[in-house]
Amino acid sequence: MNIMITGGTGLVGRHLTEALTAQNHHIYIMTRAPEDNTNTAAVTYIGYDHSVRQLPVIEAVVNLAGDSLFGYWTDRKKRGIRHSRIDVTQQVIRMMEQMDPKPNVFISGSAVGFYGTSEDFIFTEKTTESGADFLANVTAAWEQTAKQAEALGIRTVYARFGVILAESGALPLMKLPMKLFAGGRIGSGEQWLSWVHIDDVIGLLAFCLFHEEMSGPVNITAPHPKRNKDFTKVLAKVLHRPQWLPVPAPIVRFVIGEMSLLVAKGQYVLPHKARAAQYTFIYPYLQEALQATEGS
């Protein structure tokens, strides 16, 4: 199968490319600088201005492009977060409009931030109303842009990622204070963290690619979210470090600004569709998932 991926050089894109090429699929990675990468027998790098006529039949498209959320959210940073997701998605839609035949499936990245934050509600894919904060607004607009693929007759999936546990991304930042013997819960510690191991991210994306019953929003999260206070307790155990220095939420907000909602607030999200479709999680429980990242 020929599969086109945007954001293919990022964390999820790299892991997904490795998994799909191991299954003998050919990957076309769209990147701003294809000349900085070397094509292989299984991977071809193309620019965003690449002509559709120069491509073979593309059977699936996975859209993972978007600026990192990490960093102080200045107005400029927030514009970059929003436009990098929506503009690329719109460009991919235009490319798929020109394809004949059309791809069978379009998976577009999203995030559990769609739901907003809450310490009380349980969110599943049946939750249709988005939250009201910046990330919720961005993800809602992102999904609305991707929805244009449905009008083209393409099965469309909105992959709502939770906090991904991997060798890069959020987890190393969460580990650092604890490795320096200065880690602990953030604020009250009551906020929920809907996490997922990178292996299950890839497993679920592949599941969505090849199972036609998967469409619409799909929560890419493990089935057992943890409160921040419990997450840090398990992380301390895995790292063999004490968990003794709580960080007041106001300090977090002062240091990293609006981005603090990623750690000082949260949401309890369940992967209802994945479980209903009988996807088998590799790491359903946090301790095993964290131990696996330490061994990677």
Kindly report, residue by residue over 112-136, the tens digit of the pLDDT: 999 999 989 999 999 999 999 999 9
Q: Which domains does the chain have, with CATH numbers?
A: 2-295 (3.40.50.720)
Residues in the chain: 296
Inform me whether the pLDDT recorded for 207 exceeds 70: yes
Tens digit of each residue's pLDDT (9 = 90 or more) over 34-87: 999 999 999 999 999 899 999 999 999 999 999 988 888 899 999 999 999 999
pTM of the model: 0.94
- pLDDT bin (cut points 50, 70, 90) of residue 181 is low
- Check: CB of residue 226 under 8 Å from CB of residue 286: yes
132-151 average pLDDT score: 96
- pLDDT bin (cut points 50, 70, 90) of residue 296 is low
SS3 105: strand
- Check: CB of residue 82 under 8 Å from CB of residue 41: no
What DSSP state is assigned to residue 241? -
pLDDT, position 255: 64
What DSSP state is assigned to residue 34? G
User: Helices 75-98 and 134-146, interaxial angle, to 10°?
Assistant: 10
Q: How far apart are CA 13 and CA 2, in angstroms?
A: 15
Q: Which of 86, 91, 22, 23 shows the shortest CA–CA distance to 61?
A: 91
The larger pLDDT score, comparing residue 186 to residue 27, is at 27
pLDDT, position 169: 81
Tens digit of each residue's pLDDT (9 = 90 or more) over 227-261: 999 999 999 999 988 877 777 777 767 566 776 67
The larger pLDDT score, comparing residue 260 to residue 171, is at 171
